């Protein structure tokens, strides 16, 4: 059985020989050598999405949904419009669908064909999200994949897998942790991880986040 390329395994080549990191680096070098890409401009783009955008935009959307019931309803009804209310949209975010986790249902996002991902909300997709093991196993055995990420759900919790496409990108609204009722939206943002908005993780408990 092919093991999932989980967090911390970014440097490991998949069992089928696919090494996405090496492949991307080789392609980047080729484009630079041919003069199609300015390496300095590319560094700026990567830096922006990795650190300035990152998952922070999505976390702000989720935090507002937790704190504002009316916004939550708008987000679940039309993820694109609700995200645009906070200024988030554009390429990769034209058609956003928000799906909400509950005690009875856990949502997991994958792109089985390539690596479609809500860039304006979550920034750069993690390497494991693009790997063949994750893309195949998430559909076939999602509960086992979640365990690989350290998430063990009760058997009574159903798991629904959503397949992102070029037309539709998904955002998971994780369950709000207990004991956060008095926290501001700014504090709530710190509890929301990229993995929790993909479905491979859960929102953090307040005790795990430094004040």
Residue 172, beta-bridge partner list:
99
What is the predicted pLDDT for the residue at 1? 24
Which segments of 78-152 does DSSP mark as H helices, in order?
79-85, 119-122, 127-130, 132-140, 142-148
Shortest CA distance to 94 belongs to which of 165, 162, 44, 46?
165
Mean pLDDT of 114-141: 92
Q: What is the pTM of this model?
A: 0.77
The domain ranges of the chain are 20-48, 53-206
How many Å apart are CA 62 and CA 70, to the nearest integer?
13
pLDDT at 9 over 60: no
Report the mean per-residue pLDDT for the chain: 86
Task: Report the CATH fold assignment for 53-206.
Answer: Nitrile Hydratase; Chain A (3.90.330)
49 or 117, higher pLDDT: 117
Q: Which residues are catalytic?
A: 111, 114-116
What is the predicted pLDDT for the residue at 119? 87
What are the pLDDT digits (tens) for 66-109?
999 999 999 999 999 999 999 998 776 789 999 999 999 999 99
């Amino acid at each position: 059985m092919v093991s999932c390329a989980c967090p911390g395994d970014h440097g490991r080549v998949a069992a089928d020989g696919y090494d996405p990191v090496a492949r991307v680096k080789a392609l980047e070098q080729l484009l630079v050598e041919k003069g199609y890409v300015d390496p300095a401009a590319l560094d700026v783009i990567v830096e922006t999405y990795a650190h300035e955008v990152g998952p922070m935009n999505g976390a702000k959307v989720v935090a507002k949904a937790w704190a504002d019931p009316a916004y939550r309803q708008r987000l679940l009804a039309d993820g694109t419009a609700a995200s645009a209310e906070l200024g988030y949209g554009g390429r990769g975010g034209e058609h956003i669908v928000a799906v909400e986790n509950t005690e009875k249902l856990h949502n997991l996002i994958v792109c089985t064909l390539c690596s479609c991902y809500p860039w304006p909300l979550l920034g750069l997709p993690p390497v494991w999200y693009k790997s063949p093991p994750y893309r195949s196993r998430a559909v076939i055995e999602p509960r086992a994949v979640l365990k690989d990420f350290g998430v063990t759900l009760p058997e009574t919790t159903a798991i629904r897998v959503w397949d992102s496409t070029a037309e539709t990108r998904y955002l998971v609204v994780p369950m709000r942790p207990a004991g956060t009722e008095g926290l501001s939206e700014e504090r709530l943002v710190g509890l929301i991880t990229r993995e929790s908005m993909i479905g491979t993780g859960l929102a953090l408990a307040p005790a795990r986040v430094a004040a």
